[in-house]
Structure 1
Amino acid sequence: MEVSEVSGVVFREGAPADTVLVLQEGSLEVSVCGRHLETLGPGACVGSAGVLRKFHLHTVSTPSGISALVWSTSIHEICRLLNKWEEKHHAENWKLIERILLFDFLPDQQKARLSELPVRVQVFQAGDLVSSKGDMVSSIFVVKTGRLRGVLDPPGHHPTPRLHAKYLPGDVVCSGCCLPQRRQFPLRWHVVADTDCKMLSLDFQTLLQLFGDDLDECLQRAFMVFGLNQVPFMAGFSCTQKLLLAKAMEVAVYKPGETLVDVQFAVIFDGAMLVERDDVVEELGHGDRYIDSTLFSPQEEAERIDLDCPEDQAPLSEAARLVAGDAGLTVATLAGKGAAQAFKELGVSPVLSAEDTTDIALEVLQARRVSVLRHLSCNQIERLVKQLVPRVYACETLIFEQGEIGTAFYIIASGQVQVSIDGKPVRTLARHGHFGERALLFEEPRSASVRVLSVEAELWCLEKAAFVEVLTDHLREEIMRRIEIQDSNVELQDLTHVRVIGIGGFGNVRLVEDRHTGLRYALKQVKKVDGIVPDHVRGECGLLAEMDHPFILDIMNTYETSTSLYILMEYIMGGTLRHVIKVSGALDRAAACFYVGSLILVLEVLHDRNIVYRDLKPENVMVDSRGYVKLIDFGIAKRLDQDGRTFTCIGSPHYMAPEAILSRREGYGTEVDTWALGILLFELVCGCRPFGDGVKDKQEVFEAILKQALKFPESYSDECGRDLLQAMLQKSPENRLGDGVFGWDDIKEHPYFTEPSSNLFDGIVERLVRPPYTPTGECPCDGVPQEVTKDQWREEKTIARTRTTLVRRAVRLEGAEKVGGRETQCTKKTRGQ
């Protein structure tokens, strides 16, 4: 749009219309046939009705002798933008529909026909009633943005309506249409929008034109395939194989309380199924799946499982009892004989083979359960999986013995193994378990012996040589450094003061050294208030303790004295990103991609855990000795509850999103971090903040964020960067890039990151990308009264009590295993084996 000054008649009644104006300053008079209708003020849009009819319906002019300032654009530009918008959203809609597993079984030819069908977009506001109980449903609805819920009680008639279902982006609403003979049926619950949301709908009649009379069967099978896709062993099957399994499944209707017999796999269409096992009852609802433990075992092995179990050892699990819920049950089931026959026809052995269990290895490694492998990129993990060697061991076979030098790491594909220390059993590992990972990095004796406990066990073995080939030198050094630090068991009395590196209202941060090992740490002292540690500090410690990410500050331990809480953290010497900006000025695209790309990897992990950071700014991003980022200060970070919203107006004003400023109205979620990252990117490439830069008054900053349009300095001409920033800094979170169905993937796939290098994010994780700034020495800490603080340190060394309040994350080094749903702590000696 262009800005210009106008006076006199702007539009004349009946004249051709090809321009739309938005008034910025002054006023405009609107009249018809010489009769005055109204006076328009700043913000008014004129000309749009005329453009639609190709001629102006009114005469628009400025008051006599007075000019006005307007923004204008032509009909051609409007059409170009509308076409671009339409193409973009059509592609987005079908990108979403193609990812819906409901249509996953369709051949490519039919999928192509499906994508040509019209998609209707419906918009609802929070609290709107989308569909009522009893409505005749005639479409498949897909949630594009927002959240909805299905309730059994009429909205507004019950203080706490009974919840039937929750719908998130990508979910299918009213998917009971998959049941047979349900082409049009009354809805059995009310669907209400929890937040503002957009829905895509595909009409049944339109789908009927594509599928013909087989629509019911196709949708039914599609929903069965949806359930099969959730099982790693079967997700890798071809469409033909999945359909063969779906044909072996039977749809049955059960009365309330009726028992299901001989069911190995089930997908619930409607109602609820109660799974009773070991005195625990689990309720499965619509769309849930049930998998029996014997599904992937030969029938003869399943029958003798109890006979082979030692007398002093309980079976792995008792057979589950399946019962229909209070409202009855409609379910697709795969019975024992049907499963065996289907697998036989597929030519697939239920005893997992090397070729068929790649997905299990990927699941274990990609879930980041193995401490040594936790920081590898997806590309590195896939390369490692190709190096895994399957081995089958008979009962009582010794895998390795305590004291021997380890050279391999193992993943359990099937069966059980027993871990023993000094001849005494300490734990049992089963399918998806793993052991021996420290052998991949260290030349050290095994700390335990491992022996096969079951009839046989199939293990996947990764040799150290193969692991070393995949790892880069820098990443290997970083992993070993982190494990060395995490292995240390430092007490407060072991630390000696070096110097103060930071002072704040909470207390101070010192550089300290372990007098036994020489390792250096940062020690943060937080003074107690009335003898109590502030709640936000406890919360920060809890969040940091569960984080194990190479770009998040690592916390080792906390100690408590009579007056303070001490937090022992890794020492980061390179200063903050604010220091980098001061040294380097505005950054080029490659440098900005490095820093923002690193932070995307961090925020992606936090948001996956439903944690909103809320304080992203250069001061909270530090640079380590090699130039890689570290996110610090989780003081106001928060784990969101199930509805994903919080209502506290908090953060650093210049980086706060509009919805955070207006939080008391509708609240906000993790999308505020996307906005803050956009502000940070703007600051990195433009050298200033986009809203309220240089303004100190908080209210003035908020006013700028809420009302000012995004403007770029003339010096910043990167069109791709401008496009990314405009998308990330949309004031409405619904329209903000990164807050849709595909989350951070939408940002990571933007040309701004993919054009320089399609492997940017893997390169950062693998430490193949050279940081734009590498510290040459420790960041100076001027003006710190080290003498006084050192004296205070000596006084604090008289410990009233020392207590470790955070146990080192057991998941890092296999210090704890979950057995039967309970956490059992093992001795430090068992780590790594």
Structure 2
Amino acid sequence: MGNGSMKPKHLRRLDRHVANLSIGCAGNHNFLKDSGLGISMISGQADVLCSRLLELEKDLKRKDQELQEGQSRVAELQEQLAVQTKVIAELTKELQNKCIQLNKLQDVVSTQGEHSLQPSPLKEASRIQDTANRRRRAKEGVSAEPTTWLYDLNRQATFSFEKARVQKDSSEKKLITDALNKNQFLKRLEPHQIRDMVECMYERTFQQESYVIRQGEPGNQIFVLKEGSLEVFQQNKLLSSIPEWTAFGELAILYNCTRTASVKAITNAKTWALDREVFQNIMRVTAQTRQEQYRSFLRSDDVRSANVIADEHNVECLVIDRETFNQTVGTYEELQTYLEGYVANLAQADEKRHAKRRSFCGQLTKEVSLEMIELKEKVAQFPPSPFQNLEVVTTLGVGGFGRVELVKVKNENMAFAMKCIKKKHVVDTKQEAHIYSEKKILEQICSPFIVKLYRTFKDSKYVYMLLEACLGGELWSLLRDRGSFDEATTKFCVGCVTEAFDYLHHIGIIYRDLKPENLILDAEGYIKLVDFGFAKKIGSGEKTWTFCGTPEYVAPEVILSKGHDFSVDFWSLGILVYELLAGSPPFSGADQMMTYNLILKGIEKLDFPKIIRRRPEDLIRRLCRQNPTERLGNLRNGINDIRKHRWLSGFNWDDLKVRKLTSPLKRELSGPTDYSYFDSYPPEEGTPPDELSGWDKDF
């Protein structure tokens, strides 16, 4: 019908009938002219009938033509609608980018206006409020309980899937399964993981007017509404209602989080619930079981676990039996021995490369080490109470943990950064292991690309880390004010981070929280990693399971609780390159779950902005492969593949390592207490309570 050359079958049949009748009408005189039959009356009626049929035929053709014209018009309108929809999408995206640029421009104008006048108390208060507004866009890290807390050897033995199971009938299981599979995040889990979740969910009942979830409170469970009426409120404003057999609250099973909305029972309600600890055990056991299955398969004769059927004729397969494989390639034990030797050879080659690097950078490392030793000896003489010898100059940063203060030695022109961590907050969020890990890792690190730790202190309210003061400012605030960086500046940033990662990975440390907010500039404009709260030491070939990082920067395997290793740092490096060039990270949703769902869709589905050219785009895509084993930096040549990428060709790595490369981010400082490149913060409100459980006895 679309091109007018074909008609529907029923119209073709009708046309044939009409044509036959038309022929009959045209020859009706031969057919009916028989005076002996006396049917002249019938002949007249036939003429009328034939005339009517001819009219109907014309009407039918006219209607058919109108129908074709209508369909053509619909096709044209659909095409126009598609074009207009695409234009609207492009305009919407452009509008969003303009809004982002406008906000950043307002920030710059505001900042320049602030610096142009002498501050008065009123203007200082206004400036602090402006700073607070601008910093709302800063990204914050999130973390579940460390696996050392959740999954130590004693606790692992206590988790039993059989004990966690709750009896349900098959129809109930199907309804819960369907509810979980409708969820955008949960539907990406493997079927047996969903099945185990369903088995372990238990019933919870809520009375009318009670809260299932309360905004502002910590969350620990995911729910599926079985029956009753629930409504969602935010700041006492009704947002929506929750249909029966719908899953909600899923963010809480990933990590410690504060509920962002309330869910209230409008009638008596029944739900199925699952705790975070059970969910994380299910995910961990799944990954560990799969690894063990792979090992067992290689060790022994295995019974086929599935059928493989040829669905076409003449399918050809290349076949090798186990005996021939063992004779040709080797047994599992022989392969394991070979791989151990191969890894040892790689380690030796790596050691030679690092030895060459150490000899090249020997003088710099020696100077750094001597400086650290001298300063550590000096601060070691301070009394246990840090503020007997130190005085606070200003606040350099704030966070949920506490504050970072710029402090100076009394009567001396020597400054440090003091990280003050609220002990009560650490205990409430179960982050004791992370804080100890940060202390232990920083104490063993000596790199020009990582902030130095000189000493720790404690009292009844805080634990303190006395750190190197880097007063060139935060990379994040500089990026915020500029909007984005050019390629030369981005290459310098990537170079510094790559050197830091090379050092950390070589001594078995995974960082896990790369972002502009955790990169700080020293007096020479060189970038240093700060905040090692999520860093962890792992062995070669090992994985860790804690969900931690910053939502926009976490790798897919972290979200899916598959276990992760050093490759997550390379993923985050790709995200950093994107954000430095474009001004914002590639994956950012209206809420954290939306961000995670975007990450799980993959970088392959993402259209890059024109500001990112082909070579940096290639680097980003290769760093952000969904499969960790395929990521640049995690391949045979290790981190050297990043250094040798064509976008970084010509970059002077040797001069960077010895800090002879001029930084495009260097800023002038008037002295060791010049904090002019940092935002202003209000004084701390109130005093945190004492925390005397003793978890910090080794600080």
Q: Which has a greater percent of helix?
A: 2
Normalising by structure 2, report the TM-score. 0.47
The structure whose Rg is larger is 2
Normalising by structure 1, report the TM-score. 0.40
